[in-house]
Amino acid sequence: MRLGTLVLALLPALALAKPPAPGVFCTKYPTAPVCTGGQPACTYCHSSPPTRNAYGAKVETALVPTAPRPLSDGDFSMALPAALGAAESADSDGDGYSNLLEIQRGTFPGDPRSFPAPLGPCDGPKNPGYAVCTVDNRYLFRKVQLDFCGFSPTYDALEAFAKSSDQTARLDALLDTCLKSDFWRGKNGQVWELAHKKIRPVGTLKSGSEEKGLVPLADYYDDYALYTWSQIDDHDARDVLTADFFVTRAGTGPTVYSKVANRAGQGVDQAHRAGNLSSAWSLAYFVMFTALPRNAAAQGYRAYLGLDIAKQEGLYPIPNEPKDYDAKGVQGALCSQCHATLDPLSYPFRNYNGLTNPNPEQYVPNRIETQFAGLAPNISQIPEKGYILGQPVNDLKGWARVAADSDAFAANTVMDYWKLLMGGPPTPDQNDEFVKLWKRLKNENTYSVQKMLHELIHTEAYGAP
């Protein structure tokens, strides 16, 4: 064998694991359990990168075999869907189940020790009180009241329910009652619990009339109010990212949320608002003093789409990026694979000012030019146009629109409630019901979380003891 041929033959094995691979995989298989609330790890295709497991090796043989190696990230991403398709019917690890079946059932197509369990009748423990493994309305009545109202039904109420002939309608009526309770939607209620990791409150920094901190920077109760609004009363869940209005909260039992055009302490003008992405708190806390707000972009991506760039999730590298306008050294090999996604994701935030004077927590045209000009030679070239999920956007409102309309947003919205109500992410057996919920949230239920919850309480996953 000539040396040149030998080198060419070895090159595929020398190529590193490709950062875009998990994102492309999940675009092709959005309902695969491994793509539910995350993305496949490198080990899905590699024993340890760059060495591929049996499944990864099978995919590689179909990956434009005539093209010279290594493939660029762009060529790789273009070719991968067809190569995945070509590997579907094979049983690469020889466990008797095709790669496609294993992908759909949430087992590893490259590991013969991992294979689908037969979908047999349920063999859970016997429970004298409830019909285990079939939906039990008596159990469900108690669970709905406990989960959504915060207390158990009385014995008499439970007996009356058990004797009634319209149990399904009663369950739905109970849910509607509980969804109006303070336990569910009030200050520090269940919906607020879901918002904590999106808003990341810090008591010391809170401004406003309630619980004002020692260094008051912004009132994140406005963020809780908009989030809660977006999740209740048949409102559109996407408002949390796309609203150009604010929401006030008043009273208890019931807690009342109302839409308002402007709000004291919120400085971004209406034309540049993108829900909680542009709230005073988000700008104060996630932008702070940075020129290019990568942290704000990454937090929005993680909180609302469930994609954590630090874990190599949601990578859609843009050709010729990162440009490193702010001279942070992000073009190094280890950094560039994330920053080719993260930097273009961050550009639309360039005019949203954090705590830098003047005009903190506002949209400031030419913010970089006027406030950060001396930071790096090319810094004023940071564009406002950027990319999210591989799609070009003109500004933060465009960013929010693409994000809010994505499958990732719908799935992440349902995932929050699934984890809250089931105690963890969907198991492979529950994945079909989970996928149906988020697809219907998006396509049938006009992003109404209330409608989604009515469907969720009637799933087998929720109703079987």
Largest Cα separation within the chain, whole Å, is 86
Q: How far is the CB of 116 from Ca ion (least distance, A)?
A: 8
Structure tokens at 427: 């198991």
CB of 42 to Ca ion, least distance (A): 17
| Cβ 55 to Ca ion shortest distance, Å | 8
Cβ proximity to Ca ion: between 42 and 414 the closer is 42
Indicate the residue among 97 and 304 with the shorter CB distance to Ca ion.
Answer: 97
Residue linked to tokens 């349902």? 414
Helices marked H in 316-447: 333-346, 367-371, 396-404, 407-422, 431-443
Binding Ca ion by CB under 5 A: which of 27, 43, 47, 114? 114
Choose between 87 and 241: whose C-beta lies nearer to Ca ion: 87
Asked, as a colleague might, if the bond just before 322 is cis with ω within 30 of 0, I would say yes
Q: Which is nearer to Ca ion, 93 or 321 (CB)?
A: 93
If the CB atoms of residues 115 and 245 are measured against Ca ion, the closer one turns out to be 115
DSSP state of 147: I
- For 227, counting Cβ atoms within 10 Å of its Cβ (0-12 exposed, 13-18 middle, 19+ buried), the class is buried
Quote the tokens at residue 13.
């094995």
Helix (H, G, I), strand (E, B) or coil at 47: strand
d(CA 158, CA 138): 7
91 or 219: whose CB is closer to Ca ion?
Answer: 91
Say whether residue 313 binds Ca ion (CB under 5 A).
no
* Least Cβ distance, residue 94 to Ca ion (angstroms): 7
- Interface region with Ca ion, contact rule CB under 5 A, candidates 77-85, 109-117, 265-273, 403-411: 109-117
What residue type is 405 in one-letter code? D
In whole angstroms, how close is the CB of 19 to Ca ion at the nearest point?
Answer: 25
Peptide bond into 319 cis (omega under 30): no
Q: Which is nearer to Ca ion, 93 or 147 (by Cβ)?
A: 93
By C-beta, is 91 or 136 nearer to Ca ion? 91
Q: Which of 38, 62, 75, 115 binds Ca ion (CB under 5 A)?
A: 115
> Would you say how long the chain is, in residues?
465
Q: How many residues make contact with Ca ion (CB under 5 A)?
A: 6
Q: How far is the CB of 115 from Ca ion (least distance, A)?
A: 5
Interface mask toward Ca ion for 371-410; x: CB under 5 A: ----------------------------------------
Stretch binding Ca ion (CB under 5 A), from 112-120, 293-301, 310-318, 379-387: 112-120
b vs e for 14-38, b when ≥16 Cβ sit within 10 Å of the residue's Cβ? eeebbbbbbbbbbbbbebbbbbbbb
Q: How far is the CB of 98 from Ca ion (least distance, A)?
A: 6
- Return the number of the residue (103 or 307) whose C-beta is nearest Ca ion: 103
The stretch near Ca ion (CB under 5 A) out of 110-118, 172-180, 268-276, 434-442 is 110-118
Please, what is the minimum distance in Å from the beta carbon of residue 88 to Ca ion?
Answer: 11
Site stretch for Ca ion (CB under 5 A), options 9-17, 111-119, 120-128, 145-153? 111-119
Residue numbers 443-462 binding Ca ion by CB under 5 A? none
Structure tokens at 235: 């409102």
User: Restricting to residues 66-105, which ones interact with Ca ion according to CB under 5 A?
Assistant: 91, 93, 95, 97
**For residue 216, cis peptide bond before it (omega within 30 degrees of 0):** no
**Smallest separation, CB 58 to Ca ion (Å):** 10
Question: What tokens does 402 get?
Answer: 């693409």
Q: Which two tokens stand for residue 355?
A: 């705590």
Comparison of 58 and 323: residue with beta carbon closer to Ca ion: 58
Residue matched to tokens 């992908």: 103
CA 171, 176, 180, 183 torsion-angle sign = positive
**How far is Cα 240 from Cα 231, in angstroms, rounded to an integer?**
9
Provide, rounded to whole angstroms, the least separation between the CB of residue 32 and Ca ion.
Answer: 14
Which residue's structure tokens are 């070239």?
Answer: 381
> Interior CA angle at 73 toward 68 and 74, to 5°?
90
Q: Which residues bind Ca ion (CB under 5 A)?
A: 91, 93, 95, 97, 114-115
